[in-house]
């Protein structure tokens, strides 16, 4: 998933690599933890962005206790971010996840 190193400028040549370039990257993380109310995992982008991207994270399941959690990116940089999964209902206690998918998307700002 190459990311363009520059935005289009007048006079730039059209090349195969520029035509194939994407302004986004995405991935799936498989998350497991035991008896926690929050969890973090560092994620490195396959290709560095020229500027810090706009990010989104989504938990792939709503089954069981996963419905009480939320996921978001923190510490976003040009080379990666930290996935932050947290219990959104403080009245509930810590929980355990086994192989729960969390999707992430990173898009270059316009």
CATH classification of the domain holding 79: 2.60.40.2080
d(CA 60, CA 38): 17
Domain extent for 96: 24-107
Is residue 29 one of the residues assigned to a domain? yes
Span 34-74, pLDDT tens digits = 999 999 999 999 999 989 999 999 999 888 878 889 999 99
Residue 95 forms part of a structural domain: yes
Is pTM beyond 0.75? Reply is yes
Q: In this structure, what DSSP letter does residue 77 have?
A: -
Judge whether 78 and 3 are in contact, CB under 8 Å.
Answer: no
CA nearest neighbour of 77 among 105, 103, 45: 45
What is the number of structural domains in the chain?
Answer: 1
What would you report as the CA-atom Rg of the chain, rounded to the nearest whole angstrom? Answer: 17
């Amino acid at each position: 998933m190459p990311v363009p190193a520059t935005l289009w400028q007048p006079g730039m040549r059209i090349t195969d690599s520029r035509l194939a370039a994407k302004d986004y990257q995405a991935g799936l993380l498989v998350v497991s933890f035991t008896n926690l109310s929050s969890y973090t995992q560092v994620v490195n982008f396959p290709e560095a962005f020229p500027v810090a991207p706009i990010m989104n994270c989504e938990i792939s399941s709503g089954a069981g206790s996963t419905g009480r959690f939320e996921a978001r990116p923190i510490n976003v940089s040009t080379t990666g971010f930290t996935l932050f999964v947290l219990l959104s209902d403080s009245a509930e206690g810590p929980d355990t996840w086994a192989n729960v998918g969390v999707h992430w998307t990173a898009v270059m700002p316009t």
